[in-house]
Amino acid sequence: MTLADSLKHKKAKALKPGSRRPAKELCSECGLCDTYYVHYVKEACAFLNQQVAELEAAVHGRSRNLEDQNDWYFGVRQQMMAARKHEPIEGAQWTGIVSSIAIEMLNRGLVEGVVCVQNTKDDRFQPMPVIARTADEVLAARVNKPTLSPNLSVLEQIEQSGMKRLLVIGVGCQIQALRAVEKELGLEKLYVLGTPCVDNVTREGLQTFLDTTSRSPDTVVHYEFMQDFRVHFKHEDGSTETVPFFGLKTNKLKDVFAPSCMSCFDYVNSLADLVVGYMGAPFGWQWIVVRNDRGQELLDVVQDQIETQPVMSQGDRKKAVQQSIPAYDKGVTLPMWAATLMGVVIEKIGPKGLEYARFSIDSHFTRNYLYVKRNYPEKLEAHVPEYAKQIVGQYQLPD
């Protein structure tokens, strides 16, 4: 970063709370505009300047090979596997692999801080980005916050703190913006641990989802859309509630997701060094994607804490995806008995492992492509990455 650039962004002022963001209704509230790095937003924002291919090449040494279908879906990678901890972290959403990596990176002195998301004292689902410097601060951030979160709002603190080695945990839109300004942060080493992300909501939207879907919305601790085609809710008393995907009140929930999420094509967090999620692994395991050497370094610090197995793929997703396109479009909601029965059948004969991941990606990309085409036709060509066009092109879409 030149002295002129440094002075330029430090003179810039963050946008005032409540002011209209440059991406307007497509803003994912990643937090960049809450800092003086707002100066770079027109180049950095995933919804103003889609540049996944260019950033992949810069970060991983290459972009996706469009002749390789696995690249379409899973991005640049060195290896994929399924994993789980031998001894799960109590209170973690799954077994705690993400938290364990962050803690080990701090304890070994490989990083000086970890950007992660705790919750506010008043609301378990209201995100509060922090720079964690201790294991306890990392553990306070365990469990996903399924709402739009301004993770990058702490970027000014990073530069002001003098930190040189940092781990950032985030989702795709946040990481694209981070990668675009990475060189301006003055870091010697940046590690990025990503999670797959789809269908976030505002805090109000989350409440609508909980009220519409759960038997006890006020006691939900966390939830996830899982490989068995059910939404799994964990409650304060430790009980688990499951709701079939096909029983969701789609007619009431169609408009609850943020416009940014309805316009996103980076489900698998293409620009992270290491990705830890669930959708490409068997139920009860986590799906791990190592994208580059820094990602391998992150995985290495917990290698003795986890058991692994190869990824697998089973079934055929395409018919189910094609049928889901008009069903979602029309807001079809099945009676619960029918939804439960369908869920049992599909769990037994439906896609599993990587094929389930492809099912989920296909379903969301076709939906999102239609959303952009109908609502932002002028953005369609430039905004949709080439790999997403290849995926969507496998299906017949309505007008």
Give the start-to-end residue ranges of the domains of the chain: 3-200+264-313
Ranking 168-172, 252-256, 318-322 by mean pLDDT, the lowest is 252-256
Residues 6+ apart with CB under 8 A from 348: none
pLDDT tens per residue, range 94-125? 899 999 999 999 999 999 999 999 999 988 88
Among the listed residues 140, 111, 92, the one whose alpha carbon sits nearest the alpha carbon of residue 273 = 111
Decide: 45 and 23 in contact? Cβ < 8 Å: yes
Residue 162 predicted with pLDDT over 70:
yes
**Mean pLDDT score, 282-295:** 95
Using 50, 70 and 90 to split pLDDT, how confident is the model at 1?
A: very low
Using 50, 70 and 90 to split pLDDT, how confident is the model at 132?
A: very high
Using 50, 70 and 90 to split pLDDT, how confident is the model at 145?
A: confident
> What's the one-letter identity of residue 112?
E
Q: Taking the C-alpha atoms of 308, 68, 197 and 309 in order, what is their torsion angle to the nearest 10 degrees?
A: -10
Decide: 116 and 74 in contact? Cβ < 8 Å: no
Ranking 5-19, 81-95, 302-316 by mean pLDDT, the lowest is 5-19
How much is the pLDDT for 372? 97
Strand ranges inside the chain, DSSP E? 79-85, 113-120, 123-132, 165-170, 189-194, 220-225, 230-235, 240-244, 274-277, 286-290, 306-309, 313-314, 352-353
How much is the pLDDT for 11? 62
Report the percent of the chain where pLDDT is more than 70: 93
Report the percent of the chain where pLDDT is more than 90: 71
Using 50, 70 and 90 to split pLDDT, how confident is the model at 249?
A: confident
Decide: 360 and 391 in contact? Cβ < 8 Å: no
How much is the pLDDT for 256? 85
Residue 178 predicted with pLDDT over 70:
yes
Residue 290 predicted with pLDDT over 80:
yes
pLDDT tens per residue, range 335-368? 776 767 766 777 777 899 999 999 999 999 999 9
Give the global pTM: 0.92
